[in-house]
A and B are shown apart, each in its own frame.
Chain A
Amino acid sequence: MSSPSTPMSGFESQPLAPAVISPHRILYWSIRRELWEHRSIYVAPLIVAGLILLGFLIGSSHMVANVRSAQSLGTMQLQEAIERPFSLAAMFLMGIGFVVSIFYCVEALHGERRDRSILFWKSLPLSDLTVVLSKMMIPLLVVPLITVALTVVTQMLMLLLDLVILQVSGLSLTLLWTNLSLSTMWMMMLYHMLALHGLWFAPAYAWMLLASAWARRAAFLWAVLPPVAIGVLEKIAFNTAYFPHWMQYRFGGAPGSEAYPGNDHAMHAWAHLNIVRFLLSADLWSGLAVAALFLFVAARVRRNRGPL
């Protein structure tokens, strides 16, 4: 862990810092550090999960009636009635994950300058690029994984509650097994979070990190205004809207984007989904290249930055 503190015998004879800490250990501690500072990364989703469960609990009072009436309408309606709360829970948690990522990115390299702690972080043997990359891991990996894990737990609790209610009301438990395919939903969601919320949105996160490293104040405006300005300029100069449409394509969400070539309902699109095609698409890789460029610039900017 740390080098033995033997007395040193002189400048010339002492080789410069042979001890090196492995990159994955630095990454591990950097991510833990981010979670210490930005507790909203997990607190906000936890609160939303709590609200979902509360809402589900309140709604469960008329759940049996809903299922009974849906049963008489047909299998599609029945499946819909049983599955809808679970889909909604996943959607809300993905939504809050996205919001958390945005706020995190805008704050990440700005807060450390505002509270002057950048001087402390810079007194440690971590390069600016290491710091920026480890911060990028939060929206790229940590938030998606927290979102999936929390969704799994939330839906398990919902399932448990459903089982109890069905049991008590005398309805058949097989209703759940035949109409609810949670494991498929989880697999879909894991892919959706890592591919879309992580990789596909990467240039947006990198851009926001750059804005947060750059801005003296109002980092959020620095992140938002340039794209808006380009759109306004294009509209007034050429009366076209290619840039806003392109932005919509890049960051508009699942349907229509490269991650989901088929245009089906996202959570049922497992069959349409082509991971290989997504991973080989030029749009994904050009986006990642742009993200890498933004991160590199953000690291250069941070190098020049001190306390505000």
Chain B
Amino acid sequence: MALIEGRGLRKVFKTTVALEGIDLRVEQGRILGLIGPNGAGKTTVLNAILGLTPYEGQLTVLGLDPWACRDRLMRDVCFISDVAILPRWLRVSQALDFVAGVHPRFDRARADSFLAKTDIRRTSKVRHLSKGMVTQLQLAIVMAIDARLLVLDEPTLGLDLLFRRQFYDSLLNDYFDRSRTIIVTTHQVEEVQHVLTDLMFIDRGRIVLDTSMEQFESRYTELQVRSQQLATARALKPICERQTLDRTLLIFDGVDRTQLASLGDTRTPSIADLFVAVMSNQPQRHGAAQ
């Protein structure tokens, strides 16, 4: 059984359809990136997985129905959200005391040793911490919980470059092992490209791409085409074409890379470039995706 299994997941808010019956399957030990434009339904998917919102269709997370047993599920699931969700009146020491008091899988010593590496004082209230420090505190709490699924919703939004880099480094070096699973949504796609094992694009409540990173690398090729070969390359039906200063870049889906190599330089496209290509091929999309 997969860690997360969803079939026909559908969610309708009053007038808008947030999820149009998606299927979802996440195996243990994966790091899944859920990428999509604003309002695509990413947070709705995460909220359904976390038991924060009801939904139509079937969904099991660690074998449980998240809406029916959120409290049970939260022993094994953690999440960090983009918005400041730590109450501003809470002291750092109180946050640790409380989680240690009620969470059966929280290791206080681990959180303490992580916090020791930061500038966060135990007596500070959350309201007096910088945004980066709040994220560090959340990360300290989450990393000290022996959870099996970690859900990150725009975890690095509004953080400076140093904090962002440090965030994923800590996550990969000190937290992630093959028994854990991570789902992350972010607009900072370039940061997670080398972190992910799986990639999912979501747009207007539909999954438009669902692939492992190995598949991604073998399936998509970006070609920097020589100008005299442009017509030949176009005949191979690239999914996207764009001009930079002096070059033309084409992205191909499922075209043999050795064949393309004769037309110019090939490489694996960045997730960001593929995202733009896939999104602009979606019907009736107005405005830029990112």
User: Is chain B a partner of chain A in the same complex?
Assistant: yes
Of A5, A9, A125, A130, most buried by chain B (CB within 10 Å of CB) is A125
A62 within 8 A of B: no
Chain A 182-199 residues near chain B, CB threshold 8 A: none
Bound CA–CA A12/B148 (angstroms) = 12
Annotate A248-276 by CB proximity to B: 1 below 8 A, 0 otherwise.
Answer: 00000000000000000000000000000
> Which stretch of B101-109, B230-238, B244-252 is in the interface?
B101-109
Nearest A residue to B99, CB-CB: A124
Complex Cα distance, B125 from A37, in Å, reads: 12
Bound-state Cα–Cα, A29 to B102, Å: 7
Return the chain A residue nearest B74 by Cβ: A125
Report the minimal beta-carbon distance from A156 to chain B, rounded to whole angstroms. Answer: 31
Given A7-B179, A36-B94, are A17 and B104 also a contact pair (CB < 8 Å)?
Answer: yes
Residues of A near B158 (CB, < 8 A) are none
Residue of A nearest to B27 (CB): A11
Bound form: Cα–Cα A10–B177 in Å: 11
Residues 105-131 of chain B: 1 if any A CB is under 8 Å from the residue's CB, otherwise 0? Answer: 111101000000000000000000000
Q: Which of A20-28, A74-82, A87-95, A101-109 contacts B (4 or more CB under 8 A)?
A: A20-28
* Contact A5:B107 (CB < 8 A) given known A36-B94, A119-B81, A127-B71: yes
Q: How far is the CA of A11 from the CA of B88 in the complex (A)?
A: 36
- Whether B85 and A3, one on each chain, are in contact in the complex, defined by CB atoms closer than 8 angstroms, is no
Q: Does B55 contact A (CB under 8 A)?
A: no
- B179 and A2 contact, CB distance less than 8 A: no
* Contact string against A for B residues 60-80, beta-carbon threshold 8 Å, 1 for contact and 0 otherwise: 001110000011111110110
Nearest A-chain residue to B89, judged by Cβ: A37
The 8 Å CB contact of A115, one of B1, B87, B101, is B87
Residues of B with C-beta under 8 A to A9? 179
Given A3-B146, A127-B71, A304-B54: A117 and B105 interface contact (C-beta under 8 Å): no
Does B70 lie within 8 Å of A122, measured CB to CB? yes
Known: A37-B89, A130-B71. A123 touches B84 (CB 8 A): no
Complex interface: chain A residues within 8 A of B148 (CB): 8, 11, 14
Total A-B residue pairs with C-beta atoms closer than 8 Å? 128
Say yes or no: A11 contacts B102, CB within 8 Å: no
CA distance A3 to B107 in the complex (A): 7
B104–A3 CB distance below 8 A: yes
Interface contact A117-B87, CB-CB below 8 Å: yes
For residue A245, CB closer than 8 A to chain B, the reply is no
A36 near B89: Cβ-Cβ < 8 Å = yes
State how many angstroms separate the Cβ of B117 from the closest Cβ of chain A: 18
Does A17 lie within 8 Å of B3, measured CB to CB? Answer: no
Task: Choose from A12, A25, A33, A120 the contact partner of B85 (Cβ within 8 Å).
Answer: A120
Q: How far is the CB of A28 from chain B (nearest CB, A)?
A: 7
> B181's closest neighbor in chain A, by CB?
A11
B240 adjacent to chain A (CB < 8 Å) = no
* Chain B window 241-285, contacts with chain A (Cβ cutoff 8 Å), 1 for yes, 0 for no: 000000000000000000000000000000000000000000000
On A, residues with C-beta under 8 Å from B are: 1-3, 5, 7-12, 14, 16-17, 19-21, 25-26, 28-30, 32-33, 36-37, 112, 115-120, 122-128, 130, 303-304, 306-307
Given contacts A16-B62, A33-B98, A120-B85, 12 further A-B contacts (CB under 8 A): A5-B146, A14-B148, A17-B76, A21-B102, A26-B101, A29-B97, A36-B89, A117-B85, A122-B70, A125-B72, A130-B71, A306-B53
Q: List 21 A-B contacts (CB under 8 A).
A: A1-B108, A2-B104, A2-B146, A3-B105, A5-B107, A5-B146, A14-B148, A16-B63, A16-B72, A16-B75, A17-B104, A19-B75, A116-B85, A117-B85, A118-B85, A120-B87, A122-B50, A123-B74, A125-B72, A128-B71, A303-B70
Which B residues contact A (CB, under 8 angstroms)?
Answer: 1, 3, 28, 47, 50, 52-54, 62-64, 70-76, 78-79, 81, 83-91, 94, 97-108, 110, 146, 148, 177, 179-180
